[in-house]
Amino acid sequence: MNNIDKIKSLPIWTGPIEISPLEGGITNFNYLVKDSGKDSVVRMGSDIPEHLVYRSNEILVSKAAFEIGVSPELTYNEPGILVLDYIKSTTLEPITIRKNLERIIPIVKKIHHSIPNKLSGQPSIFWVFYVIKYYSNFLLKNKSTHSSLISDLLSKSNKLQELSSPREIVFGHNDLLAANFLDDGSKIWVIDWEYGGFNDPLFDIGGLASNNDFDLDMENLALEMYFDKQPSKELIIKYNAMKTASLLRETMWSMVSEITSKLDFSYADYTSENLSKFRDSFENL
């Protein structure tokens, strides 16, 4: 059964439906469904073990994120399918992330500290330095074209782990791309919780910065807004290490996706782009 037929077969619709694809995802297929005046987003994607993505966790986190008021409501799910309320909004881009930083940092803090109060069940841990080791093993086992880089990348990862310790642990989104922020004109929403899990808060701040082209002044402003004080030299060292680790994780995510993904997306170019950013960031530590 193809995706459209699967959507039509869901038992939640009250009448004839209209289905149109939503662009922008590089992991899942997303569709807008109009049903008797109510709009929903249908998100289609099974577990992705090679990326440590399990929909059972995404469901738990999505429900908690809705309860704290930062994400649309998950209204229905079955294996491989999530249905969420549609938010009429504009998807942010790096330039609009930068322009709305004062609105976004409080949302990131709310995610970090409030989601654990609403979680139900066994939560996930997104430990970036384990993810990097996991990806390394996967790439070597599957004879990636990037296998010759793995030893050096692991050595650099160990250095980053050392520089970023000790650390605080919060509940992170762990994938703060611009496309995961929606602005409805009065409120900014955060979507896509497949990587949600406990992590260092600096990973999210660093990922937000590296994914959205922050300059040094904006990085310092983000840290000051998050911690309510000027960042110390020690904090900046930890932050730069975690930002660099987030770039390494994104690079290796793309290397794995080159092997496994069937979506029409140039993962090789995405790998090259992020590897270059990672190397620049590591050299500037």
Q: Torsion angle of alpha carbons 184, 188, 194, 197, nearest 10°?
A: -160
d(CA 226, CA 249): 23
DSSP character for 264? S
Query: Domain 90-283 in CATH: superfamily?
Result: Aminoglycoside phosphotransferase (APH), C-terminal lobe (3.90.1200.10)
Say if CB 244 and CB 277 are below 8 A apart.
no
Distances (CA, A) of 41 to 137, 143, 262, 272: 35, 37, 21, 32
Say if residue 11 is preceded by a cis peptide, omega within 30 of 0.
no
Residue written as token pair 């807004």: 225
- For every residue of 123-172, DSSP letters joined together read --B--HHHHHHHHHHHHHHTT-TTGGGHHHHHHHHHHHHHHT-S---EEE
Within 10 angstroms of residue 57's Cβ, the number of other Cβ atoms is 22
Query: How much is the pLDDT for 101?
Result: 98
Hey, what are 44's tokens? Answer: 């289609």
Query: How much is the pLDDT for 23?
Result: 80
Query: How much is the pLDDT for 25?
Result: 67
Q: Is 96 exposed, middle or buried, given 0-12, 13-18 or 19+ CB atoms closer than 10 A?
A: middle
Q: What is the CA radius of gyration of the chain?
A: 19
pTM: 0.93
What is the SS3 assignment for 16?
Answer: coil
Is 3-85 in CATH node 3.30.830.10?
no
Residue written as token pair 């590897």: 275
Query: How much is the pLDDT for 100?
Result: 98
Q: Torsion angle of alpha carbons 78, 81, 85, 91, nearest 10°?
A: 160
- Among 130, 214, 134, 206, smallest CA distance to 173 is for 206
Three-class DSSP labels, 168-230: CCEEECCCCCHHHEEECCCCEEECCCCCCEEECHHHHHHHHHHHCCCCHHHHHHHHHHHHCCC
Query: How much is the pLDDT for 11?
Result: 95
- Among 31, 48, 61, smallest CA distance to 260 is for 48
Within 10 angstroms of residue 99's Cβ, the number of other Cβ atoms is 12
Say if CB 23 and CB 69 are below 8 A apart.
no
The full set of domain ranges for the chain reads 3-85, 90-283
What are the 10-residue block averages of pLDDT along the chain, 285 residues in total? Answer: 91 93 80 93 94 95 98 97 97 98 98 96 90 98 98 98 96 97 98 96 97 97 98 97 97 97 91 97 95
Query: How much is the pLDDT for 146?
Result: 98
